[in-house]
Amino acid sequence: LLSVHRQMSIEDFTIYGGAFGNKQDSAFRNLEGALLSSPSPLVLPAVSWPASNAVIGALQDQLETSPLYMDAETLGQLRLNSSSPALLVFRLPYGTGSDLMSAKEILSGNDEVIGQVLSIMKTQSVPYLAIYTALQPSQVRASGHPLSLEVGAGGGRSLLQARASHKEREQERERKRKVKEKAGNTCILLWATGLSVSILRGGRWDDHDLTPSTFGEGVTPKLHGSMCDQTKARLVLNYEDVLGHRNFKLIFAMSQRHYSVSARRWFTMDQVELEYDGTKATFNGSRSIYAPAEYSYRCDAVSSFRWPSLFPRSAKDPANQWRVSFEDFQIQGFNVSGQDFSYASDCAGFFTPGIWMGLMSSLLMVLVLTYGLHMIMQLRTMDRFDDPKGPAISVPLTE
C-alpha cells in the first residue's frame, strides 16, 4: 500500500500532530494508531527528493507487478490474494491546491482516507506493507545542493528525468574511472584465500574454484569494468570458461553514505553479482557486510548457503541456482591509501562460538568445584569411638 502525498515535510507532523500537548487536535490520529499497533514501524525523517519520485518504479521492479491506482471505495470492491503480490497506489490529497482548505484540513482528510484503507485491509485478512510518503517537501530548506523542480513535478515524466540524471551520473563516473585507471591509482583492495562458485545442475552442485585465476602466482586479473568514486565502488573480476560459460564476471558493488545516528560514514556491500552469457545473478549483501567507511571489512567466511551473509535478491532471481563462497575474505572500497588495508572491522562478534564454548566449560567446572567444596564442608567427625581395652558390649539374646 503506497499512499503518496503531493507535499509533506517532517515539520508537518510537529505542527499538526498535537506535539504541543493538544493531542485531541492531531491531524494524524489513524496514522499514529497504525504506527503504535504495527510490530515493525519505520519512520524516515528525510529522504532524497528525486528518490521519492522513483519509489513507485522501485517497488514495481521489486514486486514485478504493475501498480494499481485506486481510492478507498475501489479498494472495498477488490478481493486480494496473499499468494500474489499487488502494488496499490493511493494519490493524496483530494483537493490539493484549493485555497478554501487549510493544510491541517487536507492532512486530516488524508488521515481519514488512510484509516478507511487500513480498515478494509484488516477485514480482508491479508498481510500488507503500508508506505506513506510525498513527492516533494512542503518546506524547502536552503541547501548547498540545489534540487531541480522538474524532478519533483510528479508523474511519469519526473521518473524518466530521474533515470536520465542517473544515467548522466553513471557516465560521469565512467569518465572518472577511466582517468583513475590511466593514472594507475589503487582505489579498491581485495584479498581472499578462497573464491569459489557453484551451480545447480541435474540435482547436484558443480563447483569451480576461482582462486588460481585471481590470486595465483604470476596471474594478473582482468579488471575492466571496475570503477570507484567518493560514494560508489565497483570491482569487476573477469574470467573465461567458468562452468561452461565462456564469459563470466564476479562483481562487488559497494556504496558509502553518512548516517546521522552514528554520526559517521559507513560503507556496505550492496550486491555481489554473477554475470554470464547475458544473464545476471544478484546477491544482496547489505544486511551483513558493512563497516565504517575508513575501515576495511574482514570475515573468515562469506557465503550464500552456510550461515549465509549473501542472499538472492528475489525468489525468481537466477542467484537461487548459484552458490558463492569466499574464505578469509577482506575488502576495502573507500579511503584506500597505498597497498595496505586499513584497520579491519571483523564480522565476528565479541562472543564467538569458541568463546561461548570456553565460557560454558569454565562455568561447568566452577559448578563442579563448588559442589565438591560444599560436600567436603558437610563432613562431620564421630564423637564416640569403640575402646578395645574397655568392657565389651553385651546384648542379651532375649532382647
Q: Grid coordinates in use for 247?
A: 564469459
The confidence score (pLDDT) of residue 152 equals: 29
Secondary structure, 3-state, 11-46: HHHHHHCCCCCCHHHCCCHHHHHHHHHCCCCCCCCC
Looking at the fold, whether 190 and 313 belong to one and the same domain comes out as yes
Mean pLDDT of 375-388: 77
Residue 363 has pLDDT above 80, yes or no: yes
Q: Is there a domain that residue 229 lies in?
A: yes
158 pLDDT tier (thresholds 50, 70, 90): very low
Q: What is the pLDDT of residues 254-304, one digit of tens each?
A: 999 888 888 888 999 999 999 998 889 999 988 889 999 889 999 988 988
The tally of domains found in the chain comes to: 3
164 and 278 part of one domain: no
Range of the domain at 308: 186-346
Which residue would you say has higher pLDDT here, 334 or 51?
Answer: 334
Q: What would the pLDDT profile of 36-62 be if each residue is shown by its tens digit?
A: 888 778 877 666 666 666 777 778 777
Q: What is the C-alpha to C-alpha distance for residues 397 and 116, in angstroms, rounded to an integer?
A: 99
* CA separation for the pair 344, 332 (Å, rounded): 9
Residue 160 and residue 196 in one domain: no
d(CA 211, CA 193): 7
Same-domain pairing of 228 and 169: no
Residue with cell 574454484: 209
pLDDT band of 371, cuts 50, 70, 90:
very high
339 and 208 in a single domain? The answer is yes
164 — pLDDT class (breaks 50, 70, 90)? very low
Same-domain status, 162 and 195: no
> Is the same domain home to 133 and 161?
no
User: What's 64-107 look like in SS3?
Assistant: CCCEEECCHHHHHCCCCCCCCCCEEEEECCCCCCCCCCCHHHHH
The residue among 11 and 214 whose pLDDT is bigger is 214
Residue 25 in this model has a pLDDT that exceeds 60 = yes
| % of the chain beyond a pLDDT of 90 | 18
Residues 74 and 36 in one domain: yes
